[in-house]
């Protein structure tokens, strides 16, 4: 829970588009004395002290959580892997570290923000699971988890129909002008939209 605020703050204050545009921008300068070309990269974005502190806290806390999970894994043995929350916690801790460390080392990577999106989602999801321990909210969390489990099972059954309609529409309307069913993936997205009640006629 201690990493929830840092990861939320960081993913909402660091602009991925601006950051990588500046990092990938190159400058070519010509040396007049011998006519050589030199290429230099733009300087990286400078983070505020608070952002750096949040990155350090995020990294340290999650590394400690990983050590805690390793201890639990050693104690519980096979029982550890039967609990689904352990999988989500491992994913949360690893993705949080992978999001923060490249910024701290000065070598940001393009997949950081995808990893950060997973981390912030799982952070808030784990908070929801944590609320299950309290009497006031516990019953609602249990109810939500049961509904989510049932919904996933129903969607797995209906996924066959989803694929069937998507492929059928792709075969019948592949060459339409609006390209709404040009390939099975786009057709599947359109069928999901139609299932939600949006006809989505394209002019």
Q: What is the pLDDT of residue 26?
A: 46
For residue 108, pLDDT beyond 80:
no
For residue 80, pLDDT beyond 50:
yes
Tell me phi and psi for residue 99, to 5 degrees: -75, -40
Mean pLDDT of the chain: 83
Select the more confidently predicted residue: 1 or 68. Answer: 68
- Mean pLDDT computed over 29-48: 60
For residue 101, pLDDT beyond 70:
yes
For residue 162, pLDDT beyond 80:
yes
CA distance 141 to 176: 46
145-157 pLDDT per residue, tens: 899 899 999 989 9
Between the CA atoms of 83, 87, 88 and 90, what dihedral angle is there, to the nearest 10 degrees?
A: 130
pLDDT range class, residue 34, cuts 50, 70, 90: low
Between the CA atoms of 129, 130, 132 and 135, what dihedral angle is there, to the nearest 10 degrees?
A: -160
Please state, for a pLDDT cut of 90, what percent of the chain lies above it: 35
pLDDT range class, residue 52, cuts 50, 70, 90: very high
Q: With DSSP H G I counted as helix, E B as strand and the rest as coil, what are the percentages for the chain, rounded to 5?
A: 75, 5, 20
Residues in the chain: 203
Contacts of 169 (CB under 8 A, 6+ apart): 181, 187, 190, 191
Q: What is the pLDDT of residue 54?
A: 93
Tell me phi and psi for residue 147, to 5 degrees: -65, -40
Q: What is the pLDDT of residue 112?
A: 87
Please state, for a pLDDT cut of 70, what percent of the chain lies above it: 82
For residue 138, pLDDT beyond 60:
yes
pLDDT range class, residue 173, cuts 50, 70, 90: confident
Between the CA atoms of 110, 111, 116 and 119, what dihedral angle is there, to the nearest 10 degrees?
A: -170
């Amino acid at each position: 829970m201690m990493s929830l605020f840092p990861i939320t703050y960081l993913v909402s204050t660091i602009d991925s588009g601006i950051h990588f545009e500046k990092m990938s921008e190159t400058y070519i300068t010509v040396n007049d004395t011998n006519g050589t070309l030199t290429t230099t990269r733009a300087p990286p974005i400078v983070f505020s002290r608070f952002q750096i502190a949040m990155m350090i806290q995020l990294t340290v806390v999650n590394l400690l959580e990983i050590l805690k999970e390793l201890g639990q894994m050693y104690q519980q043995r096979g029982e550890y892997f039967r609990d689904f929350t352990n999988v989500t916690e491992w994913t949360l801790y690893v993705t949080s570290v992978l999001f923060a460390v490249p910024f701290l080392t000065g070598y940001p990577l393009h997949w950081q923000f995808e990893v950060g999106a997973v981390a912030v989602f799982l952070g808030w999801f784990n908070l929801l699971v944590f609320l299950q321990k309290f009497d006031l909210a516990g019953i609602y969390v249990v109810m939500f988890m049961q509904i989510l489990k049932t919904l996933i099972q129903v969607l797995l059954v209906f996924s066959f129909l989803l694929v069937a309609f998507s492929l059928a529409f792709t075969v019948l309307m592949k060459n339409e002008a609006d390209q709404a069913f040009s390939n099975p993936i786009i057709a599947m997205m359109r069928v999901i939209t139609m299932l939600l009640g949006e006809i989505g006629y394209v002019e």
